[in-house]
Amino acid sequence: MRVALVLVLLLAAALIIASFAVAQAPAANEVGRMMILEYHKIDYPEERWTRTPENFRRDLEALYARGYRLQSLNALLDGRITVPAGTTPVVLTFDDSSPGQFRYVERNGALEIDPKCGVGILEAFVREKPDFGRAATFFVLPAANPPNRLFNQPEHVERKLRWLVDNGYELGNHTLWHANLGKYDETVVRTQLAEAQTWVQRYVPGYQFRSLALPHGVYPREVGWAMSGSAKGMSYNHTGILMVAGGAAPSPYAKAFDPARLPRIQAVERDLNYWLTYFDKNPGERFVSDGEAATITIPTARREKLRSDLPKTLKVVER
Ligand SMILES: [Zn+2]
């Protein structure tokens, strides 16, 4: 009798928890907007282009607590949102390959990733919260002057680039040495983009950049030069071009989505707070995943935001 009562109580508790969880999960809205965050230095002191290791860690905690999960940029460019149902994708990008983003340190004769560098902090956080996901894109400078040349430890460059690619991270084009693409003719623009890839392929054979982050946010005279082409025996093909500002990005399923003009949010205290608060106050604006890659779930009221040229393989579900 007692056992039966305990079972009934446990069942009731489970049902209450389950219904609470369902009620708590935000409804899917896959035409909402999302954040593509842009980091520069992870270092001291906190400045316009520098986030301290502690603040970077706090950013990850704030994102996680509010239901954001890491999204691969390349998957997003393919129209595949991979985060779980009820969560919002967030893309992390790191520009300029500065030393604080990825550093090796020697401890007891062995090399390890510095727990205070960007990659170290991210890895530690993902170990604690595996459901945060694991993704970030590094827009590297292969031929910049030190300290921005491929994270500034020449003896470990190959190890770092391979480690990133082998562990679910992505590399992106940021030109050879941060060239302002608006200042040059077509040949120089194409050479900058193609040779950046040639340099990276010396360390990671065959690696193809899928995206370009514009140095200084400046487009070349013709966008097409930046998208695809070849120079000096190397061809490049960028599916996405990222700007340096512009706010939250449209859903890849929305009419407003333009892969040649993807806006980013600079991950500094003020801008990040602004957007976290914005989405807290305007939950209906926020992309919320349905957890199914093959279906696009949207509120009926937002149907007109949907692109009309979506692949037929994707099923649209209204709610
Ligand atoms: Zn840059």
Determine the distance separating the centroid of ligand 1 and the alpha carbon of 80, expressed in angstroms.
Answer: 27
Closest to 261 measured CA to CA, from 275, 276, 249, 273: 249
Cα 299 to ligand 1 centroid, rounded to whole Å = 37
* Rounded distance between C-alpha atoms, residue 283 and residue 221, angstroms: 38
To the nearest 10 degrees (0 to 180), the angle between helices 118-128 and 53-65 is: 30
CA of 96 to the centre of ligand 1 (A): 5
Whole-prediction pTM value? 0.92
- The 10 Å Cβ neighbour count of residue 53 is 18
Per-position b or e across 106-130, b if 16+ CB within 10 A of its CB: eeeeeeebbebbbbbbbeebbeeee
Assess contact for 28 and 290: CB atoms under 8 A.
yes
Closest CA to 95 of 68, 118, 72: 118
Residues with CB under 5 A from ligand 1 (ion): 95-96
Q: How far is the CA of 265 from the centre of ligand 1 (A)?
A: 14
Q: Given this model, what pLDDT does residue 311 score?
A: 86
d(CA 134, CA 273): 22
Per-residue pLDDT of the chain (319 residues), as tens digits, is 566 666 666 666 665 555 555 456 789 999 999 999 999 999 999 999 999 999 999 999 999 999 999 999 999 999 999 999 999 999 999 999 999 999 999 999 999 999 999 999 999 999 999 999 999 999 999 999 999 999 999 999 999 999 999 999 999 999 999 999 999 999 999 999 999 999 999 999 999 999 999 999 999 999 999 999 999 999 999 999 999 999 999 999 999 999 999 999 999 999 999 999 999 999 999 999 999 988 999 999 999 999 999 988 899 999 8
Please tell me the distance between residue 308's alpha carbon and the centre of ligand 1 in angstroms: 34
Ligand 1 centre to CA of 309 (Å) is 33
Separation of CA 38 and ligand 1 centre (Å): 10
Q: How far is the CA of 39 from the centre of ligand 1 (A)?
A: 10
- Going from the Cα of 210 to the center of ligand 1, the distance in angstroms, rounded, reads 17
pLDDT of residue 39: 98
Q: What distance in angstroms lies between residue 78's CA and the mean position of ligand 1's atoms?
A: 24
Beta partners for residue 138, in sequence order = 94, 171
**CA 101–ligand 1 middle distance (angstroms):** 13
CA of 214 to the centre of ligand 1 (A): 7
Given a contact cutoff of 8 angstroms between Cβ atoms, the answer to whether 175 and 201 are in contact is no
